[in-house]
Amino acid sequence: MAEIIRPSSVFPAMRTPFQVHTKDGIELIAEVAAPLFPSRGAILTLHPLPTAGGMMDSHVYKKAANRLPAMAGITVVRFNTRGTSSEAGTSTGHFDNGDAEALDVQAMIDYCFQELKLENLWIVGWSFGTDLALRHARDPRHKGLILLSPPLRTTSDEELKYWNRDNRPITALVPEFDDYLKPEQAQERFSIVPSIKIVPVADAKHLWVGEPSVHRVLSEINSIVTGDLEPLPLEF
């Protein structure tokens, strides 16, 4: 019998905690949630601002790990950046406002390819995580970027312009009622990189609160990663 998807829904997957060490000796706490059947693609998630409560368990990413492996065949990799805590544990080191976190991003990308042997990997950033993606996720092995609620808080114009030299796709989902960068403002700020696709999301807020917003985000991620055009089902 199909189950109506609720905020607490958790579907079958192989969930494995692990640790990754960065080049400067930081230990990152992480988890991979993989499908029980062959994976169709993967996402590495970069979480919201840790000084405002962001972590690997921030609700959209937790729900992605709980649902996407079974519903879409997508492997979900989550981790805490340096100095960030969640139920899974605390990564060592200290928050560096997105600068030293470059080493965290690269260590996780390396692990995804070298240890997890993932294919069709996409980088998903949310809020603070979008700045990490735009500034530091330049590794040529991943397929592109998916940005959720980008504030462009620490990304300079020069760092943004890098993506004019890199033809991998970037999609930014911008909530209608975002606290930092609404769709019209995003169109203006991102105009220096015309290839970036801006997707306004009606009725959504920066934190994507509510099941309709979560469903939209996870459906967009699935479409980009797997090519499925239909939204994810509301029952499973």
> pLDDT tens digits, the chain, 236 residues: what are they?
788 999 999 999 999 999 999 999 999 999 999 999 999 999 999 999 999 999 999 999 999 999 999 999 999 999 999 999 999 999 999 999 999 999 999 999 999 999 999 999 999 999 999 999 999 999 999 999 999 999 999 999 999 999 999 999 999 999 999 999 999 999 999 999 999 999 999 999 999 999 999 999 999 999 999 999 999 999 99
Catalogue the E-assigned strands of the chain: 14-21, 27-34, 41-46, 74-79, 85-86, 89-90, 121-126, 145-148, 170-177, 197-205
Sign of the alpha-carbon torsion through 124, 129, 134, 136: negative
Exposure string over 54-67, b if 16+ CB within 10 A, otherwise e: bbbbbebbbbbbbb
Exposure string over 4-23, b if 16+ CB within 10 A, otherwise e: ebeeeeebebeeeeeebebe
pLDDT at res. 1: 73
pLDDT at res. 154: 98
- CA dist 78 and 62 (Å) reads 8
pLDDT at res. 34: 98
DSSP letter at 192 equals: G
Note the pTM of the prediction, 2 decimals.
Answer: 0.98
Query: Where do the domains of the chain lie?
Result: 14-226
Which residue(s) pair with 177 in the sheet? 205
Q: Tell me the CB-side half-sphere exposure of residue 158, using CA atoms within 13 A.
A: 0
- CA dist 36 and 198 (Å) reads 33
Largest CA distance in the chain: 53
Class of the CATH domain delimited by 14-226: alpha beta
Question: Under a CB-based contact definition with an 8 Å cutoff, are residues 35 and 74 in contact?
Answer: yes
